[in-house]
Structure formats: structure tokens, C-alpha cells
Amino acid sequence: MDPNCDCVSGCCSCCPAGCAKCAQGCVCKAPQMETCSCCH
């Protein structure tokens, strides 16, 4: 769990750049290849 994240509905409210929020968490938007973390 990222202490800098505010967890809402099991998902990070502060997804990394190049990422998009979804119900299951933070997912990368093509063509981004970076890892997107999620709060649990």
C-alpha cells in the first residue's frame, strides 16, 4: 500500500502519470508500459 495514496473503493485516487482509474484499480493506457500501482 502506498502511504501517499488516498484509498477509495480499493483503488488509488492518485494513479501514476499515463494511467487511468477503473473499478479494479489503476491500469496503464497504451502505449505506456509503466507499472500502475493500486491501494488495497
pLDDT block averages, 10 residues each, the chain of length 40:
48 57 59 52
pLDDT of residue 5: 47
Give me 26's grid cell: 489503476
Distance (Å, whole) CA 33 – CA 27: 10
pLDDT of residue 7: 47
Picking from 40, 36, 38, 6, the residue whose alpha carbon sits closest to that of residue 25 is: 38
Give me 27's grid cell: 491500469
pLDDT of residue 2: 47
Q: Give SS3 for 28.
A: strand
15, 28 contact by CB (below 8 A): no
Domain ranges of the chain: 1-28
Q: What DSSP character marks residue 2?
A: -
pLDDT of residue 1: 46
